[in-house]
Structure 1
Amino acid sequence: MMLKYKIRILLLIIVSLISIHFFTSNKFKTNDLQKLFDHPVVNQPPPQQQSQRVKGPPPGNKITPQEKPQQQQESKEPEFTKNPKIEDFTIFFDNLSNYKINKPSIKDKYKTEKAKELFSNNDDFLFNKEYLENVLDIPDQTFKELKQKHSEYVNHRIPELIEEGIATFGNKVPQNKKEWDSYHGSSGYVLVGGGKYSWLSFLVIKQLRSVGSKLPIELFLSSEDEYEKKFCEHLKKKYDARCNVFDKKLANELNEKYNIGGYQYKMLALLSSNFENVLYLDSDNFPTINPDYIFDSELYKNTNLILWPDAWARTTNPKFYEISNVEIKENKQRYSSYDIKQAGGKEKLRPLTSYNFENSWFHDFEGTLPDPTSETGVFIINKTTHLKTLLLALYYNVFGPDFYYPLLTQGSAGEGDKETFIAAAHVMKEPWHQTLKQFLWTGYVSKTNNQFTSKALGHYDPIKSKEIHDKKENDPNYKNEEEEKKQNKIIFMHLSYPKFYPNWLYDNHDLIYKDSNDHIRMYEMINENIGYDFDLKILQFFTEALCSNYYGNDGLAIDNDVILDKHNTYMGEYLKYVGENEEINNKRCEEVFIPHLHWLKKTKKNYGSENSW
C-alpha cells in the first residue's frame, strides 16, 4: 500500500514537471496535457504514433520542401516573354514587301518640268489644284496601286502590328514593367553619325552640353562598321552621349530589300532609340540655348509633335490626298500673299467663301496641309502617343525615294523625308504643331558682290512664337517688334551652307575672302538675339577638335584664354575622319582656321550674359 502511495506521489511529481515543460514550450497544446492524464506513463504509444516531427533525410538524399496547404500557396504572375521580333525590331519590317508599289518609279517623271521653287509668301504665282496635279506624270495603274497599298497598310498592317504587341515606336512593351517604367516618360536627343557625320554630330553634342543641356544623348550608327570604340567611349565619359549601334545583319537586309540609307536612317535612329520623347537633330543643326525646356512645355504636352517650318511653298500633288484617303473640301480656310496682292490689299480681300480650287492656292483649303513646308532638321516627338504617325512615316520613307518623296514635293526645294512626318500625322489624325514664326535667313552682305549671302537657317522658339501669334490674333492692332525681338529667341541654327567640314570651309573661302584676305563673321546678325558671338563659339570648338597644331609641346592650347588639354580635346586620337587627315588639316589650320579664330577673338563684342564668347 505504501509502495502504491509512493508511486502515485512520484507520478504526480513527474506529471507536474512535464506540465511545466509544456506550458513553457511554444509547441504546447491543451490536448497534449490531457493525454498524459488519460494514459498511464507505462502505456506509451508506438513510435509511429508519436509527435509527427519532420525528420532529416538520410545523408545524400535531397530535401523536398513541404507543400503548403492550397489556400496558403502564393499566387505568382507568369513570367512575361517578349516577342523576339519586337526585341530585334524585325516585326516593323516583316511583310512590308506586301505593301510595296510594284510599278516603275515616278521620281523625275514630270509632264513638262518639276514644281516651281518659290517661297510660301510668294504673291506672283498661283499654286492652284490644276497646276499641282499636272506636274508629275502618274500613270493610272500606278495611282491605283499606290491607293490600294496605302489603304492596306493603314487599315490592316498598322492595326495588326498593334495587335501583335507594338505599344511604342521601338522595342519596349508595357508588360515588361521594369523596362517600361524606365522608358515611359524618358526624354533625350538623337543624332545620326558615322564617318564624317560623326565629326559634325560631335560638334553639335559639344554645343548641347556647353549651353547647359542635361538630358542624355544618343548618336545613331547604322552598323558595327561605323563604330569607333575610342570615340564612343570618349563621348560616353565626357559628354554622357551613347553610341546606339544598329544591328548589322538587319541593316544589310533592309539595304538589300529596300535600299535604305541617307534620309531613311532618321527612321531607324528613332525606332532604336531608348527615349520615348525624342528631340531629333541633324548633324549640322546647333542649339544656341539649352532646349531641354521644350520637353516640359505645355505646347509639347498638348501635341506631342512639334516641327519647324521651311521657307518654301507647299507643292504636294493633290493625288496624294486621294491616295491617303484624306477628304479635301472646296472650303477655303486662310488667305495667301497671292490673294492679298490680287485683291489690291488686305482691306479689299473677298470673303473666303468666294474662292474656289481654280482661283486660289490649293493648300489653303480644308483638309490640306498648310503652307509653308516643314524643315525636319529638327523636330520633337513622342513615340508612344504618335505610334501610328511613325509607323506611317516609316512606310513613306521606305518607299519614299521612288514614290512618296516625289508625291509630297514634286521636285521642288528639299525633296526628301522632310514632309513625311507632318503628312503621316495629318493622315492618321494625330495632333501636331508647326512653329508659327518662320526661320531667319542668316548670313551677311558679301564684299565680293555687295549682295546678301545666306549661310544658315535660324529657327525660333515654338512656345514664344505661339504666344506672340496668339496676341496678334486677339489684337489686330498689336505691333511690338522690339518686344518680339527680345522675347523670341533663335534656339537652333541649321548650318547647312557651309557645313563644318574642313575641306568645305577651306576650299570655298567661307571664312576669309579669297582675294582680299578679309575675314568673315558669317552669323553676326543673330548674336544680339542669342546673347553671344556664335561664330566665335563654334569655331573655337571646331579648331580645338580639328587642329593638332593648336597645341604646344606641353599639350596645352596655344591661346591663353582657354585651358585645354590636347589629349582630351583634339579628336584626331578618337575619330578616323580627323586623325587620318592630320597633315592636310594642320595646313588648313595654320593658313585659315587658327588665324580666323584669333581674328574673331580680337574683334568680338559683348552681347550679354555669355561674354566669354
Structure 2
Amino acid sequence: MRLTLPRLLLSALGLTIFTILYLSHPRLNAVYTYTYTPTPPPETSSPIISAFFQPWALLIHTTKPPISPLQIFWPAQNIPVTPSSPPRGPAAENHLDLSDADIASLRAAHATFRTALDQLDPSTISPFTGVGIVLVAGGEYFGPALVSLALLRQAGCDLPVEVFVADNSEYESALCEIELPALNARCVILSEYLTFSANSEGKTAHLAATHYQLKSLALLLSSFAEVLFLDSDSLPLLSPAALFASPAYTDTGLISWPDFWVRTEATAFYSVANISVPTDLPPASAEAGQLLVDKRRHLKTLLLAAYYNVWGPGWYYPLLSQGALGQGDKTTFEAAAVVLGMPYHRVQTPVRAVSRVVDGKERGSGMVQFAPGPEAGVAFLHANTPKMNAGHLVDEGDLVDGVGRHLRLWGGEEEQVALFGEDLERRVWGVLVEGGCRLEGVVEEWKGRGGVCGRLRGHWEAVFGGE
C-alpha cells in the first residue's frame, strides 16, 4: 500500500482532535469537537469481486484498440432536441479521420472482447448482492457528494452508499471513517481493483482510469446487484425506491436520462461493433449524471461499457460523440446495451434547464431530470454549473454579478416552488452552510481557502435573509 509523507506524519501523531464550527441550523452556532486518528487507507476491495474482475481486466488490457488515437476534423455541432426531432437515423456527418483499415483494426479488437461476453453466463456469477447507491468522489468532488448524500437522506432513502475514489491519494480518513459512515456510506478505492496478473510468471499490469472513465468501473465493481448511480453533482429529489419500483426499471433493468442535444455518434461506431446502424434510437444523446441498473440482467452491458470507457479518451469517446459538447462516458452505457441487443428505457420527459441571470445574461446552471412515466415529477437536479462545492462556490465568482450583488442560481423563489414544489435552493443552501462551516478545516480541498464558513453565511443572509 503506497503511503504519502503527510499520511505517515499524521499517523505518527496518533490521536488528533479537530475542533470545528458546527451549525445545526445556519442561525445557530455551536462548537463541535470531532475526534479521530488519521490512518493509512485500509483495504476496501472485495476479494470476491476482485477475483471476478481480474480476467476481465486482463482482457480489456489485451484488446486495446491497435491504432493511434482518433483525430477529429472539427467538433460535431450541438443541435438542441425539439419535439419535432426525428428518431436518430444513419445520416450523421463524419467528423473523424478514420480509414477503412482503421475500422477493421478496431472491429477485430472489439470482436475479441465481444466473443468473451457472448460466452459469459451471468447466472453463474454472483459477486453482487443487495440494492444501493454509488457515487464517485475524491478531491473537488467530495464537497458536492456530501450535499448529494445529505439530500438522499432527507428524501427518506436509507439505502447503503459506496463512494468510489480513484486511488489512495484521494482517500480522506476524516470523511471516509467518520462523515460517510454516519450517513451509512463507505469509501472504496477503485485502483485496488485495477492491478491484475498479466502472465503466468506473476507479472502485473494496471488499467489506468480517471475522470469520465471512473463511473463505469465504479458501477461494475460496486458490491450491489441493483444500483442507482449518481454523479457527485446530481442532487436526488425523491426517494430512489420509486425508481426501483417503476415499470420502466422492472421491465428493462436499465434507465437512462436525456441530454439537451441531438446524438452525434459516428456511423463508423456501428461498423466497429459489427451491427447494423439502428434507425429507431432516441433523437437526444444520453446524459449520464444518473443511471439505474440491474447488474444481474446487465452485467454484460456494464462490462462492455467498461471496455468503451477504459479505451474511451482515444477511441470510443470520439466515436460516440465526435467532439460534441459533453463528450465522455455519457453515451457509452446505452451504446453497450444497443450493441448487445439488451433492453433499456430512456426517460421520455425532456431535460429542463435552470439558470441564473448575470449582468443581464442568462447562464445555465443545472439540468432538471424527471422520473420515468408520463405524469412523473422531478427526480434529480444535476447541478453542474456551478457544482455544490462549498469551497469553490465562495472562491470562483459564481454567487455574485459584476457589481457584487448576490445571485440565486436556479431561478426565483416562485419559479422554484412551481418546478420543485419548494424553494429548493434555500434547502440546499441550508445543507451547504451546515456542512461547509462544520468541515471547512477538514475537507482537504477546502483547506487554505480562508473564511469559507463566513462567506457561505454571507451569501445565505444576502439571498435568503438568514432565516
* TM-score, with length taken from structure 1: 0.62
Q: Which residue of 2 aligns with 1:148?
A: 108
Question: Structure with the greater relative contact order (CA < 8 A, sep ≥ 6): 1 or 2?
Answer: 2
Please give the alpha-carbon distance, in whole angstroms, between the structure 2 residues aligned to 1:526 and 1:326: 45
Distance in 1 between the 2:371 and 2:89 partners? 32
* Paired position in structure 2 for 1:401: 313
Shift of 1:151: 1.8
The answer on whether the counterparts of 1:444 and 1:452 sit within 8 Å (CA) in structure 2 is yes
Cα-Cα RMSD: 3.0
Question: How far apart, in 2, do the equivalents of 1:444 and 1:192 lie?
Answer: 27
Q: 1:489 to 1:131 in 2, by over 3 A?
A: closer
Give matches, 1:271-286, under 5 Å: 271-286=220-235
Is contact 1:86-1:166 (8 Å) kept? no
Three-state SS of the structure 2 residue aligned to 1:436 is: coil
1:47-58 to structure 2, matched below 5 A, reads none
Shift of 1:507: 4.3
CA contact (8 A) 2:137 2:165 kept: yes
C-alpha change, 1:494 and 1:131, in structure 2 (3 Å) is closer
- Matched residue type, 1:513: D
For 1:438, the equivalent position in structure 2 comes to: 350
Deviates more, 1:244-253 or 1:318-327: 244-253
1:541 alignment counterpart: 431
Which amino acid counterpart does residue 345 of structure 2 have in structure 1?
A: H
Counterpart contact for 1:510–1:520, Cα < 8 Å: no
C-alpha separation in 2, matches of 1:442 and 1:240: 31
2:236 paired residue number? 287
Match of 1:575, as an amino acid?
V
| Distance in 2, Cα, partners of 1:166 & 1:142 | 36
Q: Where does residue 159 of structure 1 map in the other structure?
A: 118
Q: Which has the higher helix share?
A: 1
Amino acid at match of 2:381: M
Letter in 1 for 2:269: F
Shift of 1:574: 4.2
Residue 161 of structure 1, CA deviation: 4.6
**CA deviation string 1:238-271 (max 9, x = no partner):** 2111222335473599997543211111122112
Shift of 1:282: 0.3
Identity of aligned residues (%): 29
**Deviation by residue 1:389-437 (Cα, 9 ceiling, x = unmatched):** 1111111111111111101110111111111000000111111001101
User: 1:327, 1:367 within 8 Å by CA — same for their partners in 2?
Assistant: no
How far does the alpha carbon of each residue in 1:494-515 deviate from its partner, in whole angstroms, 9 at most, with x for none? 1111112345423443223231
- Rounded to whole Å, the distance in 2 between the matches of 1:529 and 1:384 is 35
Aligned to 1:490: 378
Deviations 1:206-229 (A, max 9, x none): 111112112111111223332222
Aligned residue runs from structure 1 range 68-87, under 5 A: 87=51
Partner in structure 2 of residue 269 of structure 1? 218
Partner of 1:71: none
Shift of residue 375 of structure 1? 0.2
Report the secondary structure of 1:421's partner residue.
Answer: helix
Q: Distance in 2 between matches of 1:494 and 1:228?
A: 25
- Corresponding residue for 1:571? 439
Aligned to 2:28: none
Secondary structure at 1:520 match in 2: coil
Q: Is the 8 A contact 1:546 1:585 kept in 2?
A: no
Amino acid across the alignment from 1:285:
S
CA distance in 2, matches of 1:302, 1:195: 37
How far apart in 2 are the matches of 1:441 and 1:166? 44
User: Which runs of 5 or more structure 2 residues have no equivalent in the other structure?
Assistant: 1-45, 199-203
More strand by share: 2
TM-score by length of 2: 0.81
Q: What is the aligned partner in structure 2 of residue 201 from structure 1?
A: 145
Tell me the secondary structure at the aligned position of residue 101 of structure 1: coil
Check conservation: 1:193, 1:220, Cα contact below 8 A. yes
Change (3 A) 1:438 1:124: closer
Return the alpha-carbon distance in structure 1 between the equivalents of residues 125 and 72 of structure 2.
Answer: 39
2:184 to 240, 262, 271: 240
Question: What secondary structure, in the 3-state scheme, does the structure 1 residue paired with 2:459 have?
Answer: helix
Partner Cα distance (2:186, 2:383) in 1: 24
Q: Deviations over 1:436-490 (max 9, x none)?
A: 01111101444x12x3321110111113xxx35xxxxxxxxxxxxxxxxxxx422
SS at match of 1:506: helix
- DSSP 3-state at the match of 1:373: strand
8 A contact 2:148–2:233 mirrored in 1: yes
Answer whether contact 2:370 2:379 (CA < 8 A) is retained: yes
1:279–1:379 contact (8 Å) kept in structure 2: yes
The residue aligned with 2:12 is none
Aligned to 2:333: 421
2:363 is aligned with 1:453: yes
- Counterpart mapping for 1:188-337 below 5 A: 188-248=132-192, 250=194, 257-328=206-277
User: Which structure has the bigger radius of gyration?
Assistant: 1
Query: In the TM superposition, what are the counterparts of 1:113-192 in structure 2 within 5 Å?
Result: 113-121=74-82, 129=90, 132=93, 134-154=94-114, 156-162=115-121, 167=125, 171-172=127-128, 183=129, 186-192=130-136
- Whether the 8 Å CA contact 1:311–1:373 is kept in 2: the answer is yes
Other-structure match for 1:480: none
Determine which of 285, 291, 295 is the counterpart of 1:379.
Answer: 291
Change (3 A) 1:135 1:223: closer
Q: Is the 8 A contact 2:132 2:161 kept in 1?
A: yes
How many residues are treated as equivalent by the alignment?
Answer: 415
CA distance in 1, matches of 2:48, 2:152: 35
Alignment check: 8 A CA contact 2:365 2:409 kept = no
Shift of 1:325: 2.1
1:347 alignment partner in structure 2 = none
- Distance of aligned partners of 1:494 and 1:413 in 2 relative to their CA distance in 1, 3 Å threshold: same
Change (3 A) 1:370 1:299: closer
**Cα distance, 1:121 vs. partner?**
2.4
Does the 8 A contact of 1:127 with 1:315 survive in 2? Answer: no
The separation in 1 between residues aligned to 2:119 and 2:152, in whole angstroms, is 39
* Residue number in structure 2 paired with 1:505: 393
Query: Structure 2: how far apart are the matches of 1:206 and 1:442?
Result: 21
CA spacing shift, 1:305–1:228, aligned 2, 3 Å:
same
